[in-house]
Chain A
């Protein structure tokens, strides 16, 4: 055996050691003191920085995933969607291209990554309050509550370790994690009346029919003044539909409605057995940074053509003639420092090679993100 082969054999190392080596090392006291001094300097700089008349917002890191919320994620393996036609990639985004938006808010993300890819920094008391609120909406009686660390191990409430709150009762589990996302699992799944056909592969019409039913049947869980249905999905590589039901709260104010759509939505996840999971997103928007002027779609398109975009689809932008659709969304990956509005361009990828098992008529649409705020507000363009 040679060194190269032995290097390969290092792949046999136990995953527990691999995980441990990926966590930030515990620093010595001296280093902590040094870091503390650096942090103090940074704090002063930030204080000065935000007293400036115009704030510069650190911008997208193009090496990071696009991660624009969990709506309508694609089936092309990251940043992409598959469908026979662009019209089959659906959602009910309240933004429209003739909307006269002057500015949009930018929010500071109060969470940070702990270095092991986990969000960190939420107030456990807020998680608990949110979990109890969801339990109340469901009318759970005598639920049990426990706290777990990010590995899923139970820990005491008053320790430093809890990162999630779990409530259980009557075959229902509510799990609230660091990003203020409450996942409700029903075991067994809640069956729906016979006329509905819940499944992982619902058509758009089947999902819409179920949405109308859920809107009425689960109004207390929705807890929205004006619930808007958003059927989100596309087709998979095999030509099967894949649509699910989302709701967000409508508003007369477009900015507020856009915010609700991107950060305050509820997903109803159906399996063949019925309603199996509900996810309620309540991302912390309490740290608004500024209202920033919004650029037009054509300005954003020029930036796209100039190569100033972020994507994680792996395909270089193929050209203007392949743009099929554009919408405004908030980039809200939990690992971003700021939640920033972006234009999301859906671009048909030409000459794609599909596997033999795929439906050869399926088209692949990749998504490219361009900041929707003026360049002056951006420290570093992607």
Chain B
């Protein structure tokens, strides 16, 4: 069933929307969540919470052309929140590794609240991505949005591990330089 029809079911408050969503995207959503929470029962819990949030968000949202991105964003947020609130962060070496890499992008990391609001930061990140060529952008997003391992990225893009690591290193530096240049304080 195509996404537009699934969204129609949500809009018509037809509960079969949930099972169609699970059929089509459940496995991928669970996988994404598992990368973050590193625990299958919790990933399933996050998946179910995602369906509930999607049910509550459509309408007003109508993600006909980006349903998977919409759902994935929800489960990513729920899963990261789970780590934060349950202090599971320490249990996931993968997330610790990714967090350390991300920290290298921040001009002056500290423990204070973020001094840039989300709208400004969103513009900065998307502006940075728009300047990357498609492959670099996709690799960056696979690593820091989909939270893929380096090995998975190598396989997906048919690149060597060293090439992927160097490419990500340069991307992080570029992002950091851009944030400094534009005067962001994170």
Contact = CB atoms under 8 A, between A and B. Distances in A.
A9 B80 CA distance: 11
Contact of A7 (B18, B98, B109, B186): B98
B141 A183 contact: no
Given A20-B138, A77-B19, A152-B64, A3 B118 contact: no
A79 B98 CA distance: 34
A112 B53 CA distance: 29
Contacts of B186: 1, 6
B133 interface: no
Nearest to B63: A15
Given A1-B106, A3-B103, A18 B73 contact: yes
Interface residues on A, range: 35 or more
A8 interface: yes
A13 B129 contact: yes
Interface string A53-69: 00000000001111100
Nearest to A23: B138
Instruction: Describe B's contact surface by its main secondary structure.
Output: helix
Contact of B103 (A2, A63, A150, A271): A2
B182 interface: no
Instruction: Describe A's contact surface by its main secondary structure.
Output: loop
Contact of B69 (A1, A22, A79, A152): A22
Interface of B: 1-2, 4-5, 12-16, 18-28, 30, 44, 47-48, 51-52, 63-66, 68-70, 72-73, 76-77, 80, 84, 89, 95, 98-106, 109-114, 118, 121-122, 125-126, 129, 134-135, 137-138, 141-142, 144-146, 156-158, 186
Interface of A: 1-22, 24-25, 27-28, 31, 63-67, 70, 73-75, 77-80, 116-118, 150-152, 164, 177, 179, 181, 183, 200, 236, 242, 271, 312, 314, 333, 335
Given A20-B137, A74-B15, A77-B18, 19 more contacts: A1-B114, A3-B102, A4-B95, A6-B99, A6-B103, A13-B145, A15-B70, A17-B129, A19-B66, A21-B141, A21-B142, A25-B157, A67-B23, A70-B1, A75-B15, A78-B51, A150-B2, A151-B65, A242-B14
